[in-house]
Structure 1
Amino acid sequence: MPSQMTNSQIDRRDAWITISIFMGILCGLSAIAHFAILELNPTSLYVGALMLCPAIAALVTQKIRGRTISSLPWAWGNWRSNIQAYFIPAAYITLAYCLIWAFGLGAPLNPETITEWSDELGFPPNVPALSMFVMIGLLASVQFVKSLGSIAGEEIGWRGFLVWELRKVMPFGAVSILSGLIWAAWHYPIVIKYGGGNPVFQVACFTLMITSMSVIMTYFTFKSGSVWPAVIFHGAHNIFIQKIFTPLTVDTEGTQMWIDEYGLMIPLIVTGFAFFYWRKAKAEGF
């Protein structure tokens, strides 16, 4: 007669069942949102709906598996992790764009952007430095806070649910890489349709960036026992790239190969950060 399954084997099987349910729901919901974005109109409402899909999939999976919603890692965690989660993306993005500007891969302080910011703020055009600093401050604070709702829709699914299930069946490194690859692939339809460049190159850069980010975010998730460092990290990453540094960069020859989330510089820099946190995770027993 076959031997009975051990408790460990049962737990692993249950984890894979849970992961499969989550992925099935996620794919179904995301397909609808992707269709709307790709075939109807890439409006922010459809993008927002897509960003809610991981959270909805996680919450529905919790109910299907007979778990309470409150069992997800909602607690604030600790201030140190949350503060670091804000400043780490600010640091690697600032470093990446400083290198881009220093090596002439793009020019700094786009005057058109600064003029637009002056108009938006209602400032006179003869104080561009003031307009720039005030707008950067508002984007890094007010706009950052405004973005957290939709970003939480993603992170409740990825770092609030998926990485904890994967942790039951694989070590830290595999959790970080697999969850990062899933997270990256979930974006591929939009990257391919709207990236505006060579899709193979852009998908490769984006995947390296997202997977490296996943290592850092997973580290802080497990260290704090909370989803909030990942939400904060994700929000800061988006704001500093999409709202601040990319608009401030003037295109020169070949600039698009290096800037933004589909260029090469940020993936290279964040990969260095990821190796540091991978080693920290190993040293701390994650």
Structure 2
Amino acid sequence: MVVIALSWPFQIAYVLWAETPFMRYALSSLPMIMVTVGTYIAGRYIFRDGFSTAGWNWGKSKHYLAVFSLAIFVWVVPTILELVLGMRSIPRGFMLSDILANFLLRFVATLIPAFGEEFGWRGYMLPHLVKQYSLKTALLLHGLIWWAWHLPVIIGMGITEKLTDNVGNSIVIVLAVSLIPTMMHAIAYAYIWTVTQSLAVVTVYHAAFDEIRDAIASSIGFGSLVDIWQMLTFTILGGLLLWKGNWKQLTLRKI
């Protein structure tokens, strides 16, 4: 509740007023940073249980390779398929060096906001939920809360994308379509954090996922295949991890 109270005003502002690149960056980053602020308030002043087990280590090089590979698989592979299949063409004047430079700039700028989310959702909230509920219930609840936290932006997408002539129906469709893939993606985030025991690794994945997406979207653009690909990828991956993942390190973690 604290995190939502601090975050949603900025998410709503993003939907209403994020027209320039700077405003889009600022108003998308501030809600993420507010997750850390709200988490610090909860851990320091409400529950008073601290943050010693949030995952304060750097992880291993193979972990970073794995998370970058996953982000590339989700965004780059379907983009190449769209180009090969003729569903999208390379814009005139497109330079690969430009998109790489764009990605690196966005990636570095997103590391702090990405840490803001991961510290709150995975480093603090998830292990608390595991202490209160069964493992699968805790994972699903954490995914549901993460989806609900995005509601202002998701509703904004339903309004702007106009999937039907009725705005209300468009919002309902976006909410329904986004629910399961978003929850399953949260479980993938949780698994990365659990296996690596590292906020650094899951933060790098978060930034890579967001900024590979945004760098491609602002240069080549996406078609329907990319959207379907990423939703199916996380629906399948998250479902498999929920069913068969090794969560032992999470269940043994002491808050």
1:172–1:281: 8 Å Cα contact kept in structure 2? Answer: no
Q: In structure 2, which of residues 10, 27, 31 is the aligned counterpart of residue 50 of structure 1? A: 31
Corresponding position: 1:37 with 2:14: yes
Please state how far the C-alpha of 1:207 moved relative to its aligned partner. 2.5
2:60 and 2:151 map into 1 onto residues whose CA distance is 33
1:108–1:249: 8 Å Cα contact kept in structure 2? Answer: no
Matched ranges for 1:220-231 at <5 A:
220-231=192-203
2:184 and 2:78 map into 1 onto residues whose CA distance is 15
Flag the 1:215–1:68 CA change in 2: closer, same or farther, 3 A: closer
Structure 2 regions of 5+ residues with no counterpart?
Answer: 164-170, 251-255
Flag the 1:246–1:179 CA change in 2: closer, same or farther, 3 A: farther
Flag the 1:38–1:57 CA change in 2: closer, same or farther, 3 A: same
Matched ranges for 1:239-258 at <5 A:
239-245=211-217, 247-249=219-221, 255=223, 258=224
Please state how far the C-alpha of 1:249 moved relative to its aligned partner. 3.2
1:209 and 1:246 map into 2 onto residues whose CA distance is 23
1:275 and 1:70 map into 2 onto residues whose CA distance is 30
1:139–1:243: 8 Å Cα contact kept in structure 2? Answer: yes
2:36–2:119: 8 Å Cα contact kept in structure 1? Answer: yes
SS of residue paired to 1:210: helix
Flag the 1:271–1:94 CA change in 2: closer, same or farther, 3 A: farther
Please state how far the C-alpha of 1:278 moved relative to its aligned partner. 3.4
Please state how far the C-alpha of 1:158 moved relative to its aligned partner. 1.0
Flag the 1:46–1:140 CA change in 2: closer, same or farther, 3 A: closer
2:145 and 2:64 map into 1 onto residues whose CA distance is 24
Q: In structure 1, which of residues 22, 26, 33 is the aligned counterpart of residue 3 of structure 2? A: 26
Q: Deviations over 1:21-47 (max 9, x none)?
A: xxx2112212332443345x2333333
Q: Give the CA RMSD over aligned residues.
A: 2.7
SS of residue paired to 1:168: helix
Aligned to 1:136: 99
Q: In structure 1, which of residues 185, 203, 207 is the aligned counterpart of residue 179 of structure 2? A: 207
Q: In structure 2, which of residues 110, 115, 134 is the aligned counterpart of residue 152 of structure 1? A: 115
Q: In structure 2, which of residues 234, 240, 245 is the aligned counterpart of residue 281 of structure 1? A: 245
Larger radius of gyration: 1
2:84 and 2:174 map into 1 onto residues whose CA distance is 23
SS of residue paired to 1:264: helix
Flag the 1:55–1:75 CA change in 2: closer, same or farther, 3 A: same
Q: Deviations over 1:45-76 (max 9, x none)?
A: 33322111211111111112223344532222
Q: In structure 2, which of residues 29, 53, 59 is the aligned counterpart of residue 77 of structure 1? A: 59
Please state how far the C-alpha of 1:166 moved relative to its aligned partner. 1.3
Q: Which amino acid in 1 is paired with 2:176?
A: A
Q: Which amino acid in 2 is paired with 1:109?
A: I
Aligned to 1:121: none
Q: Which amino acid in 2 is paired with 1:36?
A: A
Flag the 1:102–1:211 CA change in 2: closer, same or farther, 3 A: farther
1:54–1:153: 8 Å Cα contact kept in structure 2? Answer: yes
Aligned to 1:167: 130
1:62 and 1:212 map into 2 onto residues whose CA distance is 26
Flag the 1:193–1:277 CA change in 2: closer, same or farther, 3 A: same
Please state how far the C-alpha of 1:156 moved relative to its aligned partner. 1.2
2:74–2:229: 8 Å Cα contact kept in structure 1? Answer: no
Please state how far the C-alpha of 1:100 moved relative to its aligned partner. 4.1
1:74 and 1:31 map into 2 onto residues whose CA distance is 28
Structure 1 regions of 5+ residues with no counterpart?
Answer: 1-23, 116-127
Aligned residues: 235
Aligned to 2:41: 60
Please state how far the C-alpha of 1:157 moved relative to its aligned partner. 0.9
Corresponding position: 1:109 with 2:73: no
Flag the 1:89–1:205 CA change in 2: closer, same or farther, 3 A: farther
1:205–1:264: 8 Å Cα contact kept in structure 2? Answer: no
Please state how far the C-alpha of 1:230 moved relative to its aligned partner. 2.0
TM-score when scaled to structure 1? 0.71
